[in-house]
Chain A
Amino acid sequence: MNLIALSVWDLILAAGLVLLLAALSWRLCLGVGRRVLVATLRGTVQLMLVGLVLKQLFAQANPVLIGLIVLVMWSAAGWEVQSRQKRRYTGSWGYGIGTFSLFLSSFSVTLLALLVIIQVEPWYQPRYLIPLLGMLLGNTMSGVAIALDQLTRQAWDARGCIEARLLLGATWEEAIADLRREALRSGLIPIVNAMAAAGLVSLPGMMTGQILAGSPPLEAAKYQLLILFLISAGTGLGAMAAVWIGSRRLFDDRQRLRLDRLTTNRR
């Protein structure tokens, strides 16, 4: 089975459906017509641009260019983690904790996949590197963001209990242990749920794409499994790193709870 290439007209036809939706929204006074149009336009431009960039990238496999793209993806994900916090860390820690955790988890897992599992030659071949890293960053990002958000919110709400434990002679690690566990758990739940429901509720996006692009379903399933495993490992690793560094940062060297190191994100 071969890939049936989409023509411009195919896409225009599909876009026509969205236009119809916008028109309906305008007619029914739903007030989202404008937003639908803007989103459609943004999505189109962004994806076409990415397609163009990737086309160039795949043709040349220029390490500098690849490095640049990886950097952009990484810093965007780090930024996203920070902006999803209700209470984020002040100073460079706010951006640093998430970014470092993403680096630790997504990059190491991607490298492992490229070098040991898929064994791509050369390992930075963009056809494999970029989509893999993208998947990992995207999912790890959510896990890290949720875990960190949970940790700092709970620490804020439970400061009386944390300090009560400190006052009774608990170490900072004992005083925050419950919150750490909770934060990690909430960071991991989405991906665990996704794994459990994969294939039953919906076909995961990547597998769908591969099947539509002509891959044998079993091969697509194998790749999807690989991705799911990698994502779980990456999310776990990233959330653990973030929660560990984050909780350490909530206390100073005299084991005092330092909520003044958090600031409220403007929303």
Chain B
Amino acid sequence: MAGLRLDGLSTMLLREVDLTLATGERIFLSGASGSGKSLLLRAVADLDPHRGEVWLDDLPRSRLTPPEWRRRVGLLPAESHWWAETVGEHWRAPVADSPIEALLVALGFDVDVSGWAITRLSTGERQRLALARLLLNQPQALLLDEATANLDSVNRERVETVLEDYRATHATAMLWVSHDPEQRARLGGRRLVIRENRLEPEA
């Protein structure tokens, strides 16, 4: 049950962003390549030095330890990284009411995918598994960096469904970077664009 509020956030490419996402609201973010979309998400997740504060409901980020904050405000990077040999080694201990199996099936995998070697996976498979890995933390807000960029239409639909279901059941605020105008229009909601170092509504 969380809204997300960016309070005077400044990155190398963006000046003084004030932005409020209501509880359960999804906002699409677009902008030219190199305009600072990913940097903004990284700043919200507190991965780069920057100015400004972020609030999750009434809780300022500075009150939480960075690991706690990043578990609550989950960032899905555009490129997924894997450090161990098999998929299953990357699951943190599953939370009680988030059965990993259901999530994997919904994303189009067999349950035995946990035993697969990372090297066997395609880019798209990695992207979907990275989402599963992230949702296991049960984040209260989501930052998505081109979550469906490497996917075919079937899998894009799966990911969209999983994300929309998650948002509906957890009332998650979502900041979603998407290059796909058709996707932004189809799913609806508020749309913002980064232009000349400023965040403004998409015309």
Query: A residues engaging B (CB < 8 A)?
Result: 158, 160-161, 163-171, 178, 252, 254-258
Contacts and interface: CB of A to CB of B under 8 A. Distances in A.
A165 B48 contact: no
A171 B69 CA distance: 11
A178 B66 CA distance: 20
> Which 6 A-B pairs give the minimum distances between C-beta atoms?
A169-B71, A160-B81, A164-B81, A255-B66, A161-B83, A161-B81
B46 A254 contact: yes
B68 interface: yes
A178 B70 contact: no
A168 B81 CA distance: 11
Contact of A256 (B49, B68, B133): B49
Given A158-B83, A169-B92, A164 B77 contact: yes
Contact of B45 (A160, A167, A170): A167
B193 interface: no
B74 interface: yes
B137 interface: yes
A167 B66 contact: no
Interface in B53-88: 65-68, 70-71, 74-75, 77, 79-83
Contact of B70 (A158, A168, A252): A168
Contacts of B45: 167
A6 B82 CA distance: 63
B134 interface: yes
Given A167-B47, A258-B49, 14 more contacts: A161-B82, A163-B81, A164-B81, A164-B82, A165-B83, A166-B67, A167-B74, A167-B75, A168-B71, A168-B133, A168-B137, A171-B67, A178-B83, A254-B46
Contacts of B71: 168-169
Majority secondary structure, B binding face: loop
A168 B72 CA distance: 9
A164 B75 CA distance: 9
A254 B68 CA distance: 11
Contacts of A256: 46-49, 66
B68 A169 contact: yes
B66 A254 contact: yes
Nearest to A257: B47
Contacts of A254: 46, 66
Nearest to A256: B47
A170 B81 CA distance: 14
Contact of A166 (B70, B80, B82, B137): B70
Nearest to B130: A164
A244 B47 CA distance: 21
A63 B82 CA distance: 56
Specify which of A158, A161, A169, A257 lies most central, judged by the most chain B CB atoms within 10 Å of its CB: A169
A166 B68 CA distance: 10
B47 A163 contact: yes
A258 B80 CA distance: 20
